[in-house]
């Protein structure tokens, strides 16, 4: 029987984006260790599905509709969480995503791209696309952090942000997403220093290449076979596979449990199958 993190039992975790593949899996895992889970998601339908799965296994969960880019929404969500559970011990800023107008079609520049209407070149990237990505990922981490840290100060709780391996080394095609995740790494360090004396710890998880609904079309064909981009990724991944949601659980539990990581703050933990360690030769 696997060990249970008893230190987490009865505590409350708030997870933005908890209706997604990765954060939904993390929510269910924390519930297995006795945490009460508040899922903030937009749309609410996916959050409801995660909450239902937790309740079916005997856990406590609450699903709340929340647009993390709107402070009033986040404030309302906090009030609902405190009313239902009375406290907040852990905030996971998992809401995020990309936008087509913040991404290029091709990996590298070619003069012919400019004249091809089917190709989004560097010069076709839009301010609106970048703003959407920055707002969702970076502001969507700032606002919940501001709102929920007022509760975390009372419980000496912690924050786990969702970064990406595209933060230290930007992936081709997705400049807006990579820049936003780099901002999250920087913000994680800033918050860790700013709140260091309060007992609040702030860290991040940085997944490598995981197959989710957001990137399924990028990584697989309709028949489930890998795209050329995925084959290229795997050629640079020593463990020779894509990540699975449960691959995040160990680092998640380590950072969430003060008795394991009480002196750990300001770091971003890579979970990438060795991708960043491989030079390519």
Q: How many CB atoms lie within 10 A of CB 238?
A: 11
Greatest alpha-carbon span in the chain: 61
Q: What is the pLDDT of residue 1?
A: 52
* Spans of all domains in the chain: 6-212+245-275
**Could you give the percent of the chain with pLDDT greater than 90?**
92
Ramachandran angles phi, psi of 92, nearest 5°: -110, 115
Task: Give, in order, the Cα–Cα distances in Å from 263 to each of 55, 108, 259, 260.
Answer: 33, 42, 9, 9
pLDDT tens per residue across span 263-280? 999 999 999 999 999 998
CB-based contact 18:48 (threshold 8 Å): no
CB-based contact 158:152 (threshold 8 Å): yes
* Catalytic (active-site) positions: 177
pTM of the shown model? 0.96
pLDDT tens per residue across span 109-167? 999 999 999 999 999 999 999 999 999 999 999 999 999 999 999 999 999 999 999 99
pLDDT tens per residue across span 44-98? 999 999 999 999 999 999 999 999 999 999 999 999 999 999 999 999 999 999 9
Task: Give, in order, the Cα–Cα distances in Å from 261 to each of 23, 64, 203.
Answer: 20, 29, 10
- Model confidence at 2, pLDDT cuts 50, 70, 90, reads low
- Fold classification of 6-212+245-275 (topology level): Rossmann fold (3.40.50)
């Amino acid at each position: 029987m696997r060990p249970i993190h008893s230190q987490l039992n009865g505590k409350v975790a708030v997870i933005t984006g908890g209706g997604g593949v990765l954060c939904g899996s993390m929510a269910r895992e924390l519930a297995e260790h006795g945490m009460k889970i508040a899922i903030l998601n937009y749309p609410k339908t996916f959050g409801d599905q995660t909450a239902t799965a937790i309740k079916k296994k005997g856990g406590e969960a609450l699903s709340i509709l929340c647009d993390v880019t709107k402070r009033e929404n986040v404030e309302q969500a906090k009030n609902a969480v405190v009313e239902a559970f009375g406290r907040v011990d852990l905030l996971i800023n998992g809401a995020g995503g990309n936008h087509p107008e913040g991404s290029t079609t091709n990996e590298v520049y070619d003069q012919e791209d400019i004249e091809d209407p089917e190709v989004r070149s560097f010069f076709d990237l839009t301010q609106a696309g970048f703003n959407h990505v920055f707002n969702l990922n970076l502001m969507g981490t700032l606002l919940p952090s501001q709102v929920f840290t007022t509760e975390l100060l009372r419980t000496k709780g912690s924050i786990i942000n969702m970064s990406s391996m595209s933060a230290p080394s930007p992936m081709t095609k997705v400049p807006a997403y990579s820049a936003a995740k780099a901002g999250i790494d920087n913000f994680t360090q800033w918050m860790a220093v700013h709140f260091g004396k309060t007992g609040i710890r702030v860290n991040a998880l940085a997944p490598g290449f995981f197959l989710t609904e957001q990137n399924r079309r990028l990584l697989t064909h309709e028949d489930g076979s890998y795209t050329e981009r995925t084959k290229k990724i795997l050629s640079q991944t020593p463990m020779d596979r894509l990540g699975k949601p449960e691959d995040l659980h160990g680092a998640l539990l380590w950072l969430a449990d003060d008795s394991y990581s009480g002196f750990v703050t300001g770091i971003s933990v890579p979970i990438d199958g060795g991708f960043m360690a491989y030079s390519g030769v």
